[in-house]
Amino acid sequence: MQIVVDSFMVNYQRIGKGPIIVFVHGWGDNHKTFLQLAQQLSRTHELVLLDLPGFDGQRLPKTWDLADYSEFIASCLKKIDAKTITALIGHSNGGAICISGLASGTLKANKLVLLASSGVRDVNSSKKSTYKVLAKVGKVLSRPLPQRRRQKLRQALYDRIGSDYLLIPELAETFKQITSHDVRSESKKVEVPTLLLYGSDDTATPPEFGEILQQQIPNSELEIVDGADHFLHHSHASYIARRVAAFLGEKQRVS
């Protein structure tokens, strides 16, 4: 399904019946990342899964911050008449958007689920600084190479850092803006019950991020999912669905 919001064409899905859960995907991803999870949760809830702009070829008119994304989500929900939101579920950067949106009051929900949420920014900063210097030196040294080869080398370096900086080149400035936005202070203002789920093997948003955020969010609980990586909602979809359903106070009707 599609709607036009703020001049963007938005792909979204609205499935199931019951209290509304809104899913917010991560950087460079789309709503389909939640389909496994949605398949199970749609038995007890109405699910709203939407694509954030910028990752589907549509250009952002300016550099966006987390606040722009949360305002955009609020506009989408208004447009489709999704009024009372039982829970927000955000993965990775989607989690940071949810924290920022709930803290500012732009988004409203009764509960929050953070799946491998980002938003904690200056951990491992010395390691990242080293790679940044390497990136700058490499940029000069690789100039004689063909553009495609240079691009591959740069991508390899940023992959090594665990950075999505080059994932969508058109959004490089927005990426820089977002990754300089630490949500720790905002997370203190998140008053709704919050469940944080992190993968024990996640290198992009390690369990340590979860511990930091859990200390900040007043009414929160953290669980580290053993053997899971950054996409724990893919590898452990059934378990995550059960855990989320239990957290939302539903009977465990999911398989």
Partner 1 sequence: MNSMKTVAVIFGSRSAEHDVSIVTALASVIKPLELSGQYQVEAVYIAKDGRWFWDDKLKDISLYQSGEIDDFMRKAPDVHLSFKDGLTLVKSSQFAGRKQYKKVDIVFPATHGTYGEDGSLMGLLEMADVPYVGCGLSASTICMDKVLTKQVAASAGIASTPWIWCTSAEFSANPKTILDRIKPLKYPLFVKPAHLGSSIGISRVENAKELINALEVAAHYDDKIIIEQGVKNLIEVTLPIIGNDTPKVAYLERPMTSSEDFFDFDTKYMQGGEKGKGKSGGAKGAQGYSEIPAKLPKKLQSLAEEVGKQTYSALGCNGIARVDMLIDEKAGKVMLNEVNPLPGGLYAHNWSLAGTSNISLVEQLVQFAEARHQHRQKLATSFSTNYLKQF
CB of 113 to partner 1, least distance (A): 27
By CB under 8 A, the residues from 158 to 187 that bind partner 1 are: none
Beta-carbon neighbour count of residue 64 at 10 Å? 20
CB of 58 to partner 1, least distance (A): 10
Q: Are 34 and 237 in contact (CB under 8 A)?
A: no
Number of residues lying near partner 1 (CB under 8 A): 11
Contacts of 101 (CB under 8 A, 6+ apart): 66, 67, 69, 70, 71, 73, 74, 88, 107
DSSP 64-105: --HHHHHHHHHHHHHHTT--SEEEEEEETHHHHHHHHHHHHT
Instruction: Decide if residue 3 touches partner 1 (CB under 8 A).
Output: yes
Q: In what order do the strands lie in the sheet with 220-225?
A: 2-5, 8-15, 46-50, 20-24, 85-91, 111-115, 194-199, 220-225
**Of the candidates 126, 147, 185, 203, which one interacts with partner 1 according to CB under 8 A?**
147
**Of the candidates 81, 169, 203, 251, which one interacts with partner 1 according to CB under 8 A?**
81
Question: Which three-class secondary structure state does DSSP give residue 176?
Answer: helix
Instruction: Decide if residue 4 touches partner 1 (CB under 8 A).
Output: yes
CB of 46 to partner 1, least distance (A): 16
CB of 196 to partner 1, least distance (A): 33
By CB under 8 A, the residues from 127 to 146 that bind partner 1 are: 146
User: Which range of residues in 75-83, 120-128, 160-168, 240-248 is near partner 1 by CB under 8 A?
Assistant: 75-83
Q: Could you give the CA distance from residue 79 to residue 73 in angstroms, rounded to a whole number?
A: 10
Q: Which is nearer to partner 1, 6 or 226 (CB)?
A: 6
User: Which range of residues in 74-82, 120-128, 195-203, 225-233 is near partner 1 by CB under 8 A?
Assistant: 74-82
Instruction: Decide if residue 123 touches partner 1 (CB under 8 A).
Output: no
* x/- map, 185-224, partner 1, by CB under 8 A: ----------------------------------------
Contacts of 207 (CB under 8 A, 6+ apart): 198, 199, 200, 224
**Of the candidates 15, 30, 67, 79, which one interacts with partner 1 according to CB under 8 A?**
79
Where b means 16+ CB within 10 Å and e means fewer, 152-190 reads ebbeebbeebbbbbbbbeebeebbebbbebbbbebbebb
CB of 6 to partner 1, least distance (A): 11
> Which residues sit at the interface with partner 1, rule CB under 8 A?
1-4, 9, 79-81, 146-148
